[in-house]
Amino acid sequence: MRVPLTRRSRGHDEGAVAVLTALLAVVLLVISAFAVDFGLAYTNKRELSIAADAAVLAAGSDYALAPRRTCSGLVNDSALFATSEATADGIAARNRSGSTRLAYEVSCPDSRTLTVRYQHTRATDTTFGAVAGIDQVNATREATSAVTIATEGLGIRPYAICLADLQLYLGDLALTANVPIRTFYFPSATASGICGDPNQGNWYTIDCPEDVGSNSSAVLAENTRNGCSDPINIVDVGTATGTAAQTILRNACLDPYDPHECLAANPGNLTAGVLDTAWDSLLGKTIAVPVFDGATVYKVGGNNRRYPVKAIVGVEVCGYRWTNNSHRGLTTAGTCSGAAHPSPPPSGPGAPKDWLLLRLTRIQVTGASTPGGCTFGSSECDFGARTVSLVK
Domains located in the chain, CATH noted: 33-149 (3.30.1300), 152-367 (no CATH)
**CA 152 and chain centroid, separation:** 9
Please list the pLDDT of the chain residue by residue as tens digits (392 residues).
Answer: 555 545 555 555 556 666 566 656 555 555 555 656 566 666 778 889 999 999 999 999 999 999 888 999 999 999 999 999 999 999 999 998 889 999 999 999 999 999 999 999 988 766 655 555 556 667 899 999 999 999 999 999 998 888 887 777 665 544 554 455 666 655 555 555 567 554 444 567 889 999 988 888 889 999 999 999 999 999 999 888 889 999 999 999 888 889 999 998 876 677 777 888 999 999 999 999 999 888 888 877 656 788 899 999 998 899 888 776 778 899 999 888 888 887 655 555 455 567 788 888 889 998 777 788 899 988 889 988 999 999 98
- CB burial of 254-267 (b: ≥16 within 10 Å; e: otherwise) equals eeebebbbbbbbbe
Collapsing DSSP states into helix, strand and coil, what is residue 250?
Answer: helix
38: left (phi over 0), alpha (psi -120 to 50) or beta: alpha
Helices (H), 129-272: 163-167, 217-226, 242-251
Spatial contact of 372 and 236, defined as CB atoms under 8 Å apart = yes
What is the Cα–Cα distance from 317 to 158, expressed in whole angstroms? Answer: 14
**CA 126 and chain centroid, separation:** 41
pLDDT at 181: 65
What is the Cα–Cα distance from 299 to 309, expressed in whole angstroms? Answer: 15
**CA 123 and chain centroid, separation:** 34
In terms of C-beta density within 10 A (0-12 exposed, 13-18 middle, 19 or more buried), how is residue 381 classed? buried
Q: Outline where DSSP puts E strands in 126-181.
A: 136-149, 152-153, 161-162
pLDDT at 178: 47
